[in-house]
Structure 1
Amino acid sequence: MNDADIDDQPGYVKRQITRHRSGESRDATDDVGQEWPVALVYNGISHAVMMCTPRDLEAFAVGFSLTEGIVERGSDIQDIEVFFRSAESDSELPYAEVHLQVVQQAFVALKDKRRAMAGRTGCGVCGIESIELLDLQPERVPDTGFLKRLAGDAIAHAARELPAHQRLSKLTGGLHAAAWCDERGAVKFAFEDVGRHNALDKLIGHLVLQRIDTTQGFVFLSSRASYELVRKSARVGVPMLVTISAPTSLAISIAEKAGLRLASFARENGFVEYGKVV
């Protein structure tokens, strides 16, 4: 299959199950979130294989490329093609490949990074081989005045709206959502994936593809706030990150360094703000 078949992947599959409740068993079918290997190939060289829900893969690849620092701007990506590969036997997995053509400067930097990663043992953090290579110095989020325009009930509004945009989560109970909200808290776009990082990359990629200013809104995530999510948001200038669950200590530290407002335990009746914007 090729990129013309993207919409053929619904994001979930039906599976035969047996429900056991109150001492009784019943056969039924259930909707289960899809999880596929997705290879990201830059100028013909495979760089990473991510496990994600095989939808919105063009947006995912653009977002990943930006938030992982492979390219500096969306215009550094010259072409994208998405390919789906069907499993040819029961012992094989279906998978997808996203082929990106990036500008030469970005490709040379990527090859240098790959050489630095060569020979590592274990998976490490973000594919690095030593603590010294861990990048914990985020970009400063520019002050565009968005937070001053933010409505006092914006987070409550977003928390109230988000469930209506979680179609796959309602079906499967197992997908995360990343939503883009305006200054009133209205959800403008939302993307779902089995991985919270992937959902955020899909959202950011979509914003970039649609030429939407990433400094003029906030991200709402149906997950905890880990440092990678804060780091990704800061890289593209998102002024505020809101999550349903708790943040980690490193997420708070990165948010403070970036000047990014971090709010967690977000509900319709309140939230907890961590750190301060300096």
Structure 2
Amino acid sequence: MTMAGSATRQLDRVGVSGDAAPQDRSIAIEAPVAIEVDGLGYAVLMATPADLDDLAYGFVLAERLVDHAAEVIDVVSHTTDAGTLLRVTLVPGRHDRVADRVRHRVSESSCGLCGIENLEQALRPLPPVVARSAATPPAIFAAAAALRDHQPLARATGATHAAALCARDGTIRLVREDVGRHNAFDKLIGAMARDALDWGGGFALLSSRCSFELVEKAVLAGCPLLATLSAATTLAIDRAAGAGLALRTSVRSDTLYAA
């Protein structure tokens, strides 16, 4: 059954014998999403075209173009044959930030680093994380065990990442999915900002590895603890330590690594 963010395609299913049989499959949609901020072309992401307003809000927060969701006046989506254009309008006082960041971007990429003109822009100082999480390891194990049940697109396609807002006891409160791990986290952060949801002593759980970009998104969103199903990179650990973000990585059913 087709759902938002997926399409049906007929593929050949091939067994050990080499025999092929056609089969309809749900395939995750990956398409260009261009983000224009205050009339300036800012980025082109390869993303799942669902929850795009959440993506826009989370993206401008992660890029430090705004400090609060209230500084976003409007998001207008235009769908074309080539993809989707998100036109984001900010309060007048934020246009200088947009213009300054555009000057430092020499190309566009969803990775968050490619196209940054210099290392100082790539590794800008992070604010300290003030909030603290009350989540224990058993709560993180419980959330990891339940995450699959909150990933309808991943269950249908096997091709998307998830980002979850989890309560301190491990209850999953909100999930967003996307073919890109960065996009999924931006969507979650954007959805939280739009609905004025806070972390409440809980944590974020991501289905991906822990890269430095995801650490930075967590810190800028005020997340007290970031848990990921896969391992962390050295830069992710160092950036988290510098900002005071608690990391729990390589989360399994009964083990994790704390940094």
Q: How many aligned residue pairs are there?
A: 255
Tell me which residue corresponds to 1:18. Answer: 12
1:131 Cα deviation from its structure 2 partner: 2.2
* 1:198 equivalent among 178, 183, 198: 183
One of 44, 52, 68 as aligned partner of 1:49: 44
Corresponding position of 2:73: 78
Say which of 227, 238, 248 aligns to 2:212: 227
Structure 2 counterpart of 1:114, from 102, 123, 128: 102
Report the 3-state secondary structure (helix = DSSP H, G, I; strand = E; otherwise coil) of the residue aligned with 1:197.
Answer: helix
CA-to-aligned-CA distance 1:204-259 (integer Å, 9 cap, x gap): 00000000124642110000000000001001110000000010000000110110
**Paired amino acid for 2:145:** R
Q: State the identity as a percent.
A: 35
User: Cα–Cα, structure 1 residues 59 and 217, in superposed 2: closer, same or farther, change >3 Å?
Assistant: same
Q: Is the 8 A contact 1:244 1:265 kept in 2?
A: yes
The answer on whether the counterparts of 1:215 and 1:238 sit within 8 Å (CA) in structure 2 is: no
Gaps of 5+ in 1: 1-7, 88-92
Q: Does 1:165 align with 2:150?
A: yes
Contact kept, 8 Å, 2:135 with 2:203, in 1: the verdict is no
Residue of structure 2 in register with 1:140 after alignment? 128
Tell me, yes or no, if the aligned pair for 1:214 and 1:236 is still in contact at 8 Å: no
Query: Structure 2 matches for 1:78-97, cutoff 5 A?
Result: 78-85=73-80, 87=81, 93=82, 95-97=83-85
Deviation track 1:132-166 (CA, whole Å, cap 9, x = no partner) reads 332242211013xx42x324511011011101001
User: Can you list the C-alpha shifts for 1:32-83, whole angstroms capped at 9, x where unaligned?
Assistant: 1001111111122221111100000000000010011111111111112222
What SS does the corresponding residue of 1:270 show, helix, strand or coil? coil
CA contact (8 A) 1:52 1:193 kept: yes
Q: TM-score, normalised by structure 2?
A: 0.93
Q: Which secondary structure state, in structure 2, belongs to the residue aligned with residue 174 of structure 1?
A: coil
CA change 1:104–1:129 in 2 (3 A) is: same
Moved more, 73-82 or 193-202: 73-82
State whether residues 155 and 268 of structure 1, in contact with CA within 8 Å, keep that contact through their aligned partners in structure 2: no
Report the Cα distance in structure 1 between the residues aligned to 2:181 and 2:241, rounded to whole angstroms: 21
Output aligned runs, 1:235-254, within 5 Å: 235-254=220-239
Question: Is the partner of 1:82 in helix, strand or coil?
Answer: strand
Cα distance in 2 between the residues matched to 1:217 and 1:96: 33
2:167–2:199: 8 Å Cα contact kept in structure 1?
no
Cα deviations by residue, 1:79-114 (Å, 9 ceiling, x for unpaired)? 1222222x2xxxxx3x11111110122111211222
Give the match for residue 62 of structure 1.
57
Q: Whole-Å Cα distance in 2 between the matches of residues 246 and 205 of structure 1?
A: 25
Report what 1:130 is aligned to. Answer: 118
**How many angstroms apart in 1 are the aligned matches of 2:167 and 2:26?**
32
Q: CA deviation at 1:125?
A: 2.1
- Greater mean alpha carbon deviation, residues 176-185 or residues 66-75: 66-75
Kindly indicate whether the alpha-carbon contact (under 8 Å) linking 1:136 and 1:254 is maintained by their aligned counterparts in 2: no
CA RMSD of aligned residues (A): 1.9
Q: Distance in 2 between matches of 1:63 and 1:162?
A: 21
Superposition misfits of 4+ residues, deviation over 6 angstroms: 121-124
Pairing partner for 2:192 from 207, 218, 231: 207
Corresponding residue for residue 102 of structure 1? 90
Question: What is the deviation of 1:9?
Answer: 7.1
> Does 2:27 align with 1:32?
yes
Determine the C-alpha separation between the residues in 2 that align with 1:111 and 1:9. 38
Write the distance in 2 (CA, Å) between the matches of 1:237 and 1:215: 11
Residues 114-136 of structure 1, C-alpha deviations (whole Å, 9 max, x = no match): 2233xx47969242122233224
For the residue of structure 1 that corresponds to 2:128, the secondary structure is coil
- Relative to the length of structure 1, the TM-score reads 0.87
